[in-house]
Amino acid sequence: MKKELIYEGKAKKIFSTEDKDVYLQEFKDDATAFNGVKKDKIPHKGEFNNYISSEIFIHLKKNGIPNHFIGKISDTEMLVRKVNIIKIEVVCRNIAAGSLVKKFGFSEGAVLDKPIVEFYLKSDELGDPLFTEDHIYSLGLADSHELSTIKKMTLMINSILIKYFAAKGIRLVDFKLEFGKDKSGNIILADEISPDTCRLWDSITNKKLDKDRFRFDLGEVEEAYREIKNRLTAQ
């Protein structure tokens, strides 16, 4: 089914298929942190992230969130709708962690009064810097209507996923989203949603069950990813 490698990122490969409107997205075991400074492989990570993202995309679609997911076709591969990715990484934060603590002085674990939505320029070369709506408009990445749509969708996704994860005994601390335009110009959710792109803590113990275990050498990285997959796919 694969035809040509279109794109290879830190965690995924994208291939064209016989259908010009369908891509194959393959998840890798590669792990990176701190803009690629730290690198390793996590056994079965590609498999876990494929399963986790598939479950989440299906749940979001059932709850009215359009996304690129078509179907999981192997342990590490899914078919997705072709989209033109908007070069904006959207981060939604519910609990203080990561850069909120390091750069803005929040106390880790503090529950925010309301979600914080941040925009980052999708550019490995520039280090994915935090930027403002005015930067987005000046760079021509989106207009005000498109950015408003992205923010509204992000907050809707956040509300849905908070409840979804809570039912699995997981706190959704924060997460990153990417959006793209389909062939009709509609903005839809793309990329992945997994422990690579979310901070996920156990609801009772606050044990980290995400890529922070790799970032900060906490150990049990494979086990944490497996735990999230098992919780989300348990009947």
H or E segment to which residue 51 belongs: helix 45-62
- d(C-alpha 171, C-alpha 167), whole Å: 9
* Domains of the chain in sequence order: 5-81 (3.30.200.20), 84-224 (3.30.470.20)
H or E segment to which residue 112 belongs: strand 111-121
Q: Give 64: exposed, middle or buried? Use CB within 10 Å, 0-12, 13-18, 19+.
A: exposed
Q: How far apart are the first and last CA of the chain?
A: 31
Residues of the chain with pLDDT under 70: 36, 235
* pLDDT reported for residue 34: 80
Report helix, strand or coil for 146: helix
* pLDDT reported for residue 234: 84
Give yes or no for a contact between 174 and 90, defined as CB atoms under 8 angstroms apart.
no
Distances (CA, A) of 39 to 32, 46, 123, 148, 196: 4, 15, 18, 35, 13
- For tokens 């730290």, name the residue: 38
* pLDDT reported for residue 235: 63
- d(C-alpha 130, C-alpha 143), whole Å: 18
pTM above 0.75, yes or no: yes
Angle between helices 221-233 and 45-62 (to 10 degrees): 30
Report helix, strand or coil for 142: coil
